[in-house]
Chain A
């Protein structure tokens, strides 16, 4: 009974974190090396889900991805089905709430790199693209790893926004936190305890990973 939500949670979280890593690398590369009008606004938008209540994020996504939403309408016209209440919607919710943590962690690590390594690379004739992939990113490895751990934990624990855009469909969109909520509400104590144990163990593991990375860094 608890296996289904765990599998859904892992599937949603893995896909979301993969997207988070790719998008964060792209954003950090793009935003840290040039400045343009509206850059601060874009960064604020990326960071916004960090401070907004998850239900607000969920409602915002619902407006955007719902049947009459800007993106939802387009999706429906192409695929002839609603995007809301699919596991893809759960991925989007997890992505939105996890992205700021990854972005912040990676950007912080990249900006903390001793500028002399970058300058040395420039005088040695390395182009910016090569500098990013062969020097900046490897030197920001610890930030990348703790960013993955943080965003994984955040995505795994996502509840409010996921419930609003993906609902509670067992085997499809019912993730561990949602299953836990409904198990407690229905008085299924054993199931709730098992889900609690899973969440606790996975979170502890992730926090251990983050702190050991911080130790390596210092």
Chain B
């Protein structure tokens, strides 16, 4: 678990950001100059925050109050740069052997093989394509056995075709390595496609946080003249997802696993009193965190492994009288559930 809570005065604004990342992918989006890359650099130890704390598991990487500021070398945080920063004077193979504590060419070839670039071992960075560079850069970061991985716009320098291909590889990669990842991207679709959580930064502040990402299995699919209706099993219950008639079911099939997402404003909260709620599209959980902002209240509800975020008015929140650990039901609007990448 990476915990970040830091502040830094940048040229045009003050960066203030707090978040946690478990063994999952957090995408940080936002326009250029929003503070995304600075944030990554501070996590990696390449830039010093003004104040705050960064902890990775039980290790404190930075703590202004305790005057702790680990050097990048000691943080065990892998960093893949936007243009990959492969050392231009070294071959692909030597880019990896250089960073090994003890030279082990077999291990290097294993890693290159994992990423399908072992045939390029003797080539130099300027002799390989963007997609190949990206694979080498990932292999180079992972061979150091990091505890966490930071990716700074890793797909932006690729042509669209290669990018699509690398998205698929990235999703496979996620399945193989249970490693926490922060992915910085200015592309919201990329963030939605690849990440478990999305933070949107603007002028150094988090303006949107999206936790609501579930995985389910399609049980039935129906279509009539006006609607497409899917029943999806998730978290021990069924969700009904209704889509307009132009939504094509062709990409989906019964029994297929799909990823669902829903915006926090479409998650309604109901407090459980006894067994009193009967509603469709209902997911039960416990309140984990309540954040009060100027206009609204953000409630994070924990259900098994997943976290569902709901946003409601402060009026509504006071009416519900919510407290941490309260049992609540989240009611999901059936036409607001989005189906994401199908596999």
* Per-residue interface assignment for chain B, residues 66 to 90, with 1 indicating a CB less than 8 Å from any chain A CB and 0 otherwise: 0000011101111101010101110
Say how far A130's CB is from chain B's closest CB, in angstroms: 8
* Per-residue interface assignment for chain A, residues 119 to 135, with 1 indicating a CB less than 8 Å from any chain B CB and 0 otherwise: 11111111100000011
Bound CA span A122–B141, Å: 11
Is the CB of B254 closer than 8 A to any CB of chain A? no
Is the CB of B197 closer than 8 A to any CB of chain A? no
Bound CA span A15–B30, Å: 58
**Do the beta carbons of A123 and B98 come within 8 Å of each other?**
no
- What residues of chain A have their CB less than 8 Å away from a CB belonging to chain B? 114, 116-117, 119-127, 134-135, 138-139, 141
Q: Could you list 9 examples of A-B contacts with CB < 8 Å?
A: A119-B79, A119-B85, A121-B87, A123-B45, A123-B46, A123-B73, A123-B141, A135-B87, A139-B89
Using CB atoms, name the residue of chain B closest to A139: B89
Q: A138-B89, A139-B88, A139-B89 are in contact. Are A119 and B144 (CB under 8 A)?
A: no
Say how far A93's CB is from chain B's closest CB, in angstroms: 35
Is the CB of B99 closer than 8 A to any CB of chain A? yes
Excluding A120-B79, A123-B77, A141-B89, 8 further A-B contacts by CB distance (< 8 Å) are A116-B85, A119-B81, A120-B81, A123-B75, A123-B78, A123-B141, A125-B73, A134-B98
- What residues of chain B have their CB less than 8 Å away from a CB belonging to chain A? 41, 44-46, 71-73, 75-79, 81, 83, 85, 87-89, 98-99, 101, 140-141, 144
Using CB atoms, name the residue of chain B closest to A126: B99
Bound CA span A140–B85, Å: 16
Bound CA span A53–B104, Å: 55
B73 CB contacts on chain A under 8 angstroms = 122-123, 125-127
Bound CA span A139–B71, Å: 23
**Do the beta carbons of A126 and B98 come within 8 Å of each other?**
yes
Say how far B84's CB is from chain A's closest CB, in angstroms: 8
Partner of A123, one of B44, B83, B87, B101: B44
Q: A122-B72, A124-B141, A125-B73 are in contact. Are A117 and B87 (CB under 8 A)?
A: yes
Using CB atoms, name the residue of chain B closest to A123: B79
**Do the beta carbons of B140 and A124 come within 8 Å of each other?**
yes
B78 CB contacts on chain A under 8 angstroms = 123-124
B44 CB contacts on chain A under 8 angstroms = 119, 123
Using CB atoms, name the residue of chain B closest to A134: B98
Bound CA span A115–B83, Å: 12
**Do the beta carbons of A119 and B99 come within 8 Å of each other?**
no
Bound CA span A125–B74, Å: 7
A120 CB contacts on chain B under 8 angstroms = 79, 81, 85, 87
**Do the beta carbons of A124 and B83 come within 8 Å of each other?**
no
A138 CB contacts on chain B under 8 angstroms = 89
Using CB atoms, name the residue of chain B closest to A124: B99
